[in-house]
């Protein structure tokens, strides 16, 4: 019976490394989806609801080959208060900035992990992989800002 240090099975280490990566990416993607903290924060009465609003003005728009009415002006049936799409523009701009900033900050965690994995696998240096990941992260944040 030998009493020295035993060699670590390389397959076992690589399998564990792959499993940790998988768990990280699943959790990284699922966290904002299930918590909702990356979702748009709607104000009350920000969008027209046929159940609680009376439609005063609208216009038609085409989206994907389908034509539908878009509310421009609506009144709360209970309070009588009138709302317009333009009333919520400042909130939409603030939400777009908030969501882009949160998306970028959260994405930096993914960038760091991605670069760490790439450098551990010796596919690239940490800084090279991190730089590429940050460029993708910036693009995603800008698209988030433009989409809202």
Q: Residue 49 is encoded by which pair of tokens? A: 């609801």
pLDDT tens for each residue of 6-61: 555 555 557 778 889 999 999 999 999 999 888 888 998 888 888 899 989 988 88
Calpha distance 73→87 (Å, rounded): 10
pLDDT exceeds cutoff 60 at 2:
no
Residue-by-residue DSSP string for 85-107: GGGGHHHHHHHHHHHHHHHHHHH
Chain position carrying tokens 């760490």? 116
- What are residue 103's phi and psi, to 5 degrees? -60, -45
Residue 48: DSSP 8-state: -
Residue 107: predicted pLDDT: 96
Do 91 and 43 meet the contact criterion of CB atoms below 8 Å apart?
yes
Residue 21: predicted pLDDT: 92
Cβ neighbors of 113 (< 8 A, separation 6 or more) are 24, 28
Calpha distance 73→61 (Å, rounded): 15
3-state SS class at 84: strand
Residue 1: predicted pLDDT: 52
Sketch the domain layout of the chain as residue ranges.
Answer: 40-147
Calpha distance 85→96 (Å, rounded): 16
Residue 123: predicted pLDDT: 81
Residue 67: predicted pLDDT: 85
3-state SS class at 57: strand
């Amino acid at each position: 019976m030998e009493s020295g240090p035993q060699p670590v099975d390389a397959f076992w280490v690589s399998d564990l490394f792959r499993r940790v990566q998988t768990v990280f990416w699943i959790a990284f993607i699922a966290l904002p989806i299930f918590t909702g903290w990356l979702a748009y924060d709607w104000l009350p009465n920000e969008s027209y609801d046929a159940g609680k609003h009376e439609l005063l003005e609208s216009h038609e728009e085409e989206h994907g080959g389908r034509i539908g009415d878009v509310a421009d002006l609506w009144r709360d049936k209970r309070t009588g208060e009138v709302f317009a799409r333009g009333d919520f523009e400042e909130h939409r701009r603030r939400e777009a900035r908030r969501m882009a900033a949160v998306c970028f900050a959260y994405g930096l965690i993914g960038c760091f992990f991605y670069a760490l994995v790439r450098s551990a696998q010796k596919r690239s240096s940490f800084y090279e992989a991190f730089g590429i990941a940050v460029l993708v992260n910036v693009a995603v944040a800008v698209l988030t800002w433009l989409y809202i």
